[in-house]
């Protein structure tokens, strides 16, 4: 999972705010629980304050009973990376965007290999859809492959 590679650059500041140990990994269960535990984000500097609100807004709004440990935040993060790529950002620009928008550090090389893996999964879906005569799914998979690969 690509989400496991995402780290908060300012995890120590969040830790001070929470008053207990928080892992660096942004999508670690303990981190997600801390972030969703009504920390007083007003005490953070302006940039980090906005980044944490962006993070909550983009990845942590679901109605699952087990939220935030339901898997949705990780899935939304994976989807965000694919959408950024489909909006024509390359892996370096995606890493830069994630840092500015959410305060998340992630290696461009990890993003690149995630994008390549995603294309392979889509190729498998496209091939199976073709064999099973599911033309809609086949062409949708093809469209996403083209958008990720261009």
Count of residues that interact with Zn ion, criterion CB under 5 A: 5
Q: Shortest approach of Zn ion to residue 48 CB, angstroms?
A: 25
Q: Is 88 left (phi over 0), alpha (psi -120 to 50) or beta?
A: left
Question: Under the criterion CB under 5 A, does residue 70 sit at the interface with Zn ion?
Answer: yes
| Of the residues 53, 64, 124, 128, which one makes contact with Zn ion according to CB under 5 A | 64
- DSSP line for 35-91: HTS---GGGS-HHHHHHHHHHHHHHS----TTTTSSSHHHHHHHHHHHHHHHTT--H
Question: Under the criterion CB under 5 A, does residue 60 sit at the interface with Zn ion?
Answer: no
Question: Under the criterion CB under 5 A, does residue 61 sit at the interface with Zn ion?
Answer: no
Separation in Å, CA 11 to CA 1, 21, 55, 60, 124: 20, 9, 13, 17, 38
| Of the residues 3, 17, 22, 72, which one makes contact with Zn ion according to CB under 5 A | 72
Question: Under the criterion CB under 5 A, does residue 32 sit at the interface with Zn ion?
Answer: no
Q: Which stretch in 29-37, 65-73, 91-99, 124-132 sits in contact with Zn ion by CB under 5 A?
A: 65-73
Distance CA 18, CA 7 (A): 17
Q: Shortest approach of Zn ion to residue 144 CB, angstroms?
A: 23
Write out the residues near Zn ion by the rule CB under 5 A.
Answer: 62, 64, 67, 70, 72
């Amino acid at each position: 999972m690509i989400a496991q590679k995402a780290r908060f650059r300012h995890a120590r500041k969040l830790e001070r705010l929470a008053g207990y140990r928080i892992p660096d990994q942004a999508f670690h269960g303990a981190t997600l629980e801390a972030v969703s535990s009504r920390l007083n984000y007003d005490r953070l500097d302006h940039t980090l304050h906005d980044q944490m609100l962006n993070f909550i807004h983009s990845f942590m709004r679901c109605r699952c009973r087990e939220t935030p440990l339901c898997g949705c935040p990780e899935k939304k993060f994976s989807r965000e990376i694919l959408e950024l790529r489909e909006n024509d950002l390359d892996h370096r620009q995606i890493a830069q965007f994630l840092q500015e928008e959410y305060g998340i550090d992630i290696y461009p090389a990890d993003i690149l290999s995630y994008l390549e893996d995603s294309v392979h999964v889509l190729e498998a879906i496209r091939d199976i859809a073709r064999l099973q005569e599911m033309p809609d799914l086949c062409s949708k998979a093809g469209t996403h492959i083209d958008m990720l690969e261009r």
